[in-house]
Amino acid sequence: MSLPQPLGTQLRVMKYLFKGIALGRGLKVRNPGGFERLVAAIYGTPDRVPILAQPYTYAMSMHGLEASVFFSKARPFIGASFNFARYFDIDFWSPVFDFYNIEAEALGQRLIWRKHSEPDVDTSQPLIKSEDDLKRLRPPVPGVSGRMPFVLESYKRYIELMGIPPMVYACSPFTMAVLLRGYVNFIRDIRRNPRFAHRLLDFLSMEVVVPWIEKMVETTTASIVVMSDAWASQPNVTTDMVREFCLPYIEKIVKATNSSLRTVVDTGSWGECSVGDPREVLDIKYEMITRGNFFKSLRPLFLLVWNEDYEKIGIVTARRYAEEKSVCLMLNVRPNLIEEGPPEAIVSAMRKIIREGAGRGKFVIIMNLIPVASPLENVFTVVESVKQFGSYPISDEIETIPFRPPAFMPFSDWFRREGLPLD
Amino acid sequence: MDWEASMKEAVSGGDEVEAARIADAALEKGVAPGDILEKGAVPGIYEAGRLWREGTFFLPDIILAAEAFKEVFVKVEPLLKSGDIAYKGKVVIGTVQGDAHDIGKNLVIAMLRCASYEVVDLGVDVAPYAFVKAACEHEACVLGMGAYMTTTMRVMEEVIRLLDEAGLKKRLKVVVGGAAVTRAYAEWLGADGYGEDAVRAVEVIDALLGWSR
pLDDT digits (tens, 9 = 90+) for A117-141: 889 898 888 999 999 999 999 999 9
Is residue A133 less than 8 Å (CB to CB) from chain B? no
pLDDT band at residue A2 using 50, 70 and 90 as cut-offs: very low
- CATH number of the domain bearing residue B169: 3.40.50.280
Of B63, B98, B101, the CB nearest to A184: B63
What pLDDT is stored for residue B148 in this prediction? 83
The CA–CA distances, whole Å, from A109 to A129, A214, A368 equal 11, 22, 26
What pLDDT is stored for residue A5 in this prediction? 58
What pLDDT is stored for residue A387 in this prediction? 97
* Chain B: closest CA distance from residue A237 (Å): 6
The CA–CA distances, whole Å, from B9 to A77, A145, A203, B164 equal 52, 46, 35, 45
- The C-alpha atoms of residue A243 and residue B22 are separated, in whole angstroms, by 35
pLDDT digits (tens, 9 = 90+) for A134-181: 999 999 999 999 999 999 999 999 999 999 999 999 999 999 999 999
Q: Are residues B53 and B98 in the same domain?
A: no
Is residue B56 less than 8 Å (CB to CB) from chain A? no
**Prediction pTM value:** 0.88
Of the listed ranges A267-276, A287-296, B40-49, the least confidently predicted one is A287-296
All residues of chain A having their beta carbon less than 8 Å from the beta carbon of residue B103 are 183-184, 236
The CA–CA distances, whole Å, from B4 to A209, A325, B12, B19 equal 47, 52, 12, 10
| Mean pLDDT, rounded, for A266-291 | 88
B57 belongs to a structural domain: yes
B213 belongs to a structural domain: no
Q: What percent of chain A has pLDDT over 70?
A: 98
| Mean pLDDT, rounded, for A384-413 | 95
Report chain B's mean pLDDT, rounded to a whole number: 89
| Mean pLDDT, rounded, for B176-192 | 89
Is residue A416 less than 8 Å (CB to CB) from chain B? no
Q: Which residue has the higher pLDDT, A367 or A262?
A: A367
Of the listed ranges A30-34, A344-348, A363-367, the least confidently predicted one is A30-34
Q: Which residue has the higher pLDDT, A296 or B170?
A: B170
Asked whether residue B53 carries a pLDDT value surpassing 80, the answer given is no
B70 belongs to a structural domain: yes
| Mean pLDDT, rounded, for A245-263 | 90
- The C-alpha atoms of residue A162 and residue A368 are separated, in whole angstroms, by 20
Q: Do B154 and A121 touch (CB under 8 A)?
A: no
What pLDDT is stored for residue B95 in this prediction? 94
Is residue B35 less than 8 Å (CB to CB) from chain A? no
Q: Are residues B121 and B51 in the same domain?
A: no
Instruction: Write the ipTM.
Output: 0.78
Of A112, A235, A373, the CB nearest to B154: A373
Asked whether residue A3 carries a pLDDT value surpassing 60, the answer given is no
All residues of chain B having their beta carbon less than 8 Å from the beta carbon of residue A371 are 150-151, 154
> Of B34, B52, B79, which marks where a domain is finished?
B79
pLDDT digits (tens, 9 = 90+) for A321-334: 999 999 999 999 99
B115 belongs to a structural domain: yes
Spell out the domain ranges in chain A: 95-166+168-221+224-299
What pLDDT is stored for residue A235 in this prediction? 82
| Mean pLDDT, rounded, for A385-411 | 95
Asked whether residue B73 carries a pLDDT value surpassing 80, the answer given is yes
Report chain A's mean pLDDT, rounded to a whole number: 92
What pLDDT is stored for residue B57 in this prediction? 83
> Of B79, B102, B122, which marks where a domain is finished?
B79
What pLDDT is stored for residue A174 in this prediction? 96
Q: Are residues B98 and B197 in the same domain?
A: yes
B positions 62-101 inside 8 Å of A (CB) = 63-64, 67, 98, 100-101
CB B192 within 8 A of CB B199: no
A224-228, strands of its sheet edge to edge? A168-171, A224-228, A263-266
Q: Are residues B65 and B98 in the same domain?
A: no
DSSP string for A134-185: HHH-----TTTSTTHHHHHHHHHHHHHHHSSPPPEEEE-HHHHHHHHH-HHH
> Of B79, B108, B139, which marks where a domain is finished?
B79
B63 belongs to a structural domain: yes
Task: Give the CA-trace dihedral at A338, A342, A344, A345, to 10 degrees.
Answer: -60
- The C-alpha atoms of residue A181 and residue A109 are separated, in whole angstroms, by 10
| Mean pLDDT, rounded, for A237-257 | 93
Q: Are residues B188 and B132 in the same domain?
A: yes
pLDDT digits (tens, 9 = 90+) for B189-209: 999 999 988 888 988 999 999
A371 closest CA partner among B183, B97, B153, B96: B153
Q: Are residues B189 and B143 in the same domain?
A: yes
B11 belongs to a structural domain: yes
- The C-alpha atoms of residue A245 and residue B3 are separated, in whole angstroms, by 35
Is residue A261 less than 8 Å (CB to CB) from chain B? no
In terms of residue numbers, what domain contains B169? 89-208
Is residue A335 less than 8 Å (CB to CB) from chain B? yes
The CATH number of the structural domain formed by A95-166+168-221+224-299 is 3.20.20.210
Q: Which residue has the higher pLDDT, B166 or B100?
A: B166
Q: Are residues B104 and B65 in the same domain?
A: no
- The C-alpha atoms of residue A249 and residue B149 are separated, in whole angstroms, by 28
In chain B, which ranges are continuous DSSP H helix? Answer: 3-12, 16-28, 33-35, 42-53, 59-76, 103-114, 128-137, 155-165, 183-189, 198-208
What pLDDT is stored for residue A345 in this prediction? 97
Q: Do B64 and A191 touch (CB under 8 A)?
A: yes
Rg (CA), chain B: 17
Q: Do B63 and A237 touch (CB under 8 A)?
A: no
All residues of chain A having their beta carbon less than 8 Å from the beta carbon of residue B67 are 184
- The C-alpha atoms of residue A57 and residue A70 are separated, in whole angstroms, by 8
Q: Are residues B23 and B96 in the same domain?
A: no
The count of structural domains within chain B is: 2
Q: Are residues B93 and B174 in the same domain?
A: yes
Of B60, B124, B125, the CB nearest to A187: B60
Q: Are residues B101 and B182 in the same domain?
A: yes
- CATH number of the domain bearing residue B63: 1.10.1240.10
Q: Are residues B26 and B97 in the same domain?
A: no
Residue of chain A whose Cα is closest to the Cα of B101 = A123
Of A124, A188, A238, the CB nearest to B64: A188
Asked whether residue A187 carries a pLDDT value surpassing 50, the answer given is yes
Q: Are residues B42 and B98 in the same domain?
A: no
CB B193 within 8 A of CB B205: yes
What pLDDT is stored for residue A299 in this prediction? 77
pLDDT digits (tens, 9 = 90+) for B25-50: 999 999 999 899 889 998 998 898 88
